[in-house]
A and B are shown apart, each in its own frame.
Chain A
Amino acid sequence: RKEVEQDPGPFNVPEGATVAFNCTYSNSASQSFFWYRQDCRKEPKLLMSVYSSGNEDGRFTAQLNRASQYISLLIRDSKLSDSATYLCVVNGRSFQKLVFGTGTRLLVSP
């Protein structure tokens, strides 16, 4: 089983839509969770950390479900500029290493 798994998509949504991605992880002892955004093979950039109680940053909401070992990212009121690949990141079997999912591609259309 992969340490971090994501649906590759693409998710095609119209502007203004709400879209959600899930990411599952295999290490029940993981403590660090992040969502990164990557545009067209540029460097990944941190979108938000994910905290146990869930957290929100503007139109973005992240949730952690430890019992089912997944994290989620909700994007409200999608913008054209949200089109990108969203990477789920978790510290793996070795806590010194962050493991990246393969990413979920989002395409927002006018």
Chain B
Amino acid sequence: NAGVTQTPKFQVLKTGQSMTLQCAQDMNHEYMSWYRQDPGMGLRLIHYSVGAGITDQGEVPNGYNVSRSTTEDFPLRLLSAAPSQTSVYFCASGRGPGEKLFFGSGTQLSVL
């Protein structure tokens, strides 16, 4: 049972570099989301999607792009990495909005 798969687990970037965090789920969930977790801040929603072709912004969307071309995949793109984007990133999916979420194992990102 793969569930939600995130890659990579660790990444170090230099300021200004771009990269894509991958997220895939095999549970046929319509709802997918990206959170970041920083010490003392809890999990904050970056972007979410309620189905293929539909995305919307969360609490902290600036500096991130998403797309949802298939039900399974929901990549998160950092266009020009900044030190403020150093964080742990979690992808999560659920059957629908407001339903319980299942999380990937996270990506530890450091931007130097």
A residues whose Cβ falls under 8 Å from a Cβ of B? 31-32, 34, 41-46, 49, 87, 89, 91, 95-103
Contacts and interface: CB of A to CB of B under 8 A. Distances in A.
B103 A43 contact: yes
B97 A95 contact: yes
Given A34-B100, A46-B100, A41 B37 contact: yes
A49 B100 CA distance: 8
Contact of B50 (A41, A96, A100, A102): A96
Interface in B58-112: 58-59, 88, 90, 97-106
B45 interface: yes
B98 A31 contact: yes
A95 B97 CA distance: 7
B41 to A, nearest CB: 7
B53 interface: no
Given A42-B106, A43-B90, A87 B42 contact: yes
A57 B91 CA distance: 27
Nearest to B101: A98
A98 B42 contact: no
B42 A96 contact: no
B103 A44 contact: yes
A87 B90 CA distance: 15
B56 interface: yes
Nearest to B88: A41
Contacts of A43: 90, 103-106
